[in-house]
Amino acid sequence: MFKILQKTFKVGVATADYPGIAPQLAEQFRGCPEFDFDAWSDARPAAEACPTGAIAFRDRDGVRLVTVDYGRCIFCGECEAASAASAVQASAVQASATQINPVRMSQNFELAAADRRDLVLTAEYTLHPDGRHAELKSATSGPSAEEPGKRIEAAIHNLLGRSLSIRQVDAGSCNGCEQEIVALNNPVHDIERFGIHFVASPRHADMLLVTGPVTRNMELALRKTWAATPDPKVVVAVGACGISGGIFGTNYASLGGVDAVIPVDVYVPGCPPRPEALLYGILLALGQVRQRPGSLSRR
């Protein structure tokens, strides 16, 4: 016991001050990919390499519409590698020394959004005959949602000023997201400092934190859990799977994202989202942080 006390005093306060102070990220930590749409000469290699279809394009009448959906992205980095390889090839063909990769993995994880459309970037290009981009016509970062959706405003009003109880629901996850949710309770992240705690019953909950693609076997359980949670309630969809079905998509066993089954108020991208990303999403749902301007925008 004395040794434990001695160690506690030696370590001091271990709890990080996020969101007050930005966390120290490991060099290897990978956040979302960022796109320099102006410099992107061809979206096809990245789209073909993307395992979840987060990058997609459609060509019509000499114009290409490219979409990037952070709600499907698993932060794997395949788009960066494919784009780098294509940039090297293009510079070799054009005998140019320029090898700038327009797709780069960042360390940005503050991606939570109250509007699913905010997670989708778009860019429109005219095309060369060989299919490469000729000119960027337009690029958007999706409608901005400075406030959480109107639908949850009443809920927020009632929830603020007292503690928040969360019921976590695993609707079919691989348990990666759960590992990060568990970390919210450790001394480093200590979510209880915000008066937020996890409860065992949806009847005691204000918020449902739902992970995983919704498997067909869990659909009824999820509907019942949502119905058993008293109003006003807030639903947060966690991870690429919770938002869109992620790497599993929609298939014979999976219904896709949580909003295919119950209404969702906030989406937290990642695979899995790190604890700070979850905290950011939860605080965004409560109106205690604002969606950072430009956090989802192109470079």
Q: How far is the CB of 11 from ligand SF4 (least distance, A)?
A: 30
Q: Which of 37, 67, 71, 78 binds ligand SF4 (CB under 6 A)?
A: 78
Q: Which is nearer to ligand SF4, 159 or 181 (CB)?
A: 181
Q: Of 270, 262, 78, whose CA–CA distance to 171 is shortest? A: 262
Q: Which of 67, 86, 165, 173 binds ligand SF4 (CB under 6 A)?
A: 173
Asked if 212 interacts with ligand SF4 (CB under 6 A), we say yes
Asked if 33 interacts with ligand SF4 (CB under 6 A), we say yes
Copy the structure tokens of residue 83: 């784009």
Q: How far apart are CA 48 and CA 42, in angstroms?
A: 11
For 127, the enclosing helix (H) or strand (E) is: strand 120-127
Q: Which is nearer to ligand SF4, 52 or 215 (CB)?
A: 52
3-state secondary structure at position 206: coil
Q: How far is the CB of 47 from ligand SF4 (least distance, A)?
A: 8
Q: Which value, to the nearest 10 degrees, does the dihedral of the CA atoms of residues 59, 64, 68, 73 take? A: 40
Q: Which is nearer to ligand SF4, 35 or 226 (CB)?
A: 35
Sign of CA dihedral 172, 143, 41, 36: negative
Q: Which stretch binds ligand SF4 (CB under 6 A): 85-93, 125-133, 173-181, 289-297?
A: 173-181
Q: Which is nearer to ligand SF4, 119 or 196 (CB)?
A: 119
Copy the structure tokens of residue 212: 């995983």
Q: How far is the CB of 181 from ligand SF4 (least distance, A)?
A: 10
Q: Which is nearer to ligand SF4, 75 or 226 (CB)?
A: 75
Q: Write the CA distances from 265 to 58, 262, 284, integer angstroms.
A: 30, 10, 10
Q: Which residue is nearest to ligand SF4 (CB)?
A: 176
Asked if 37 interacts with ligand SF4 (CB under 6 A), we say no
CB distance 289 to 279 below 8 Å: no
Q: Which of 174, 184, 261, 277 binds ligand SF4 (CB under 6 A)?
A: 174
Q: Which stretch binds ligand SF4 (CB under 6 A): 20-28, 94-102, 195-203, 239-247?
A: 239-247
Q: Of 105, 72, 77, whose CA–CA distance to 237 is shortest? A: 72
Q: How far is the CB of 82 from ligand SF4 (least distance, A)?
A: 8
Q: How far is the CB of 86 from ligand SF4 (least distance, A)?
A: 13
| Identity of the residue numbered 238 | V
Copy the structure tokens of residue 44: 């096809």
Q: Which of 271, 277, 284, 296 binds ligand SF4 (CB under 6 A)?
A: 271
Q: Would you tell me how many other CB atoms lie within 10 Å of the CB of residue 153? A: 13
Q: Residue ranges of the alpha helices (H) in the chain? A: 2-11, 44-49, 78-93, 153-159, 176-183, 219-228, 239-244, 275-285
Q: How many residues bind ligand SF4 (CB under 6 A)?
A: 27
HSE toward the beta carbon, residue 194, CA cutoff 13 A = 26
DSSP lists the bridge partners of residue 124 as 65, 138
Q: Which is nearer to ligand SF4, 140 or 288 (CB)?
A: 140
Site residues (vs ligand SF4, CB under 6 A): 33, 49-52, 54-55, 73-79, 173-174, 176-177, 211-212, 239-241, 246-247, 271-272
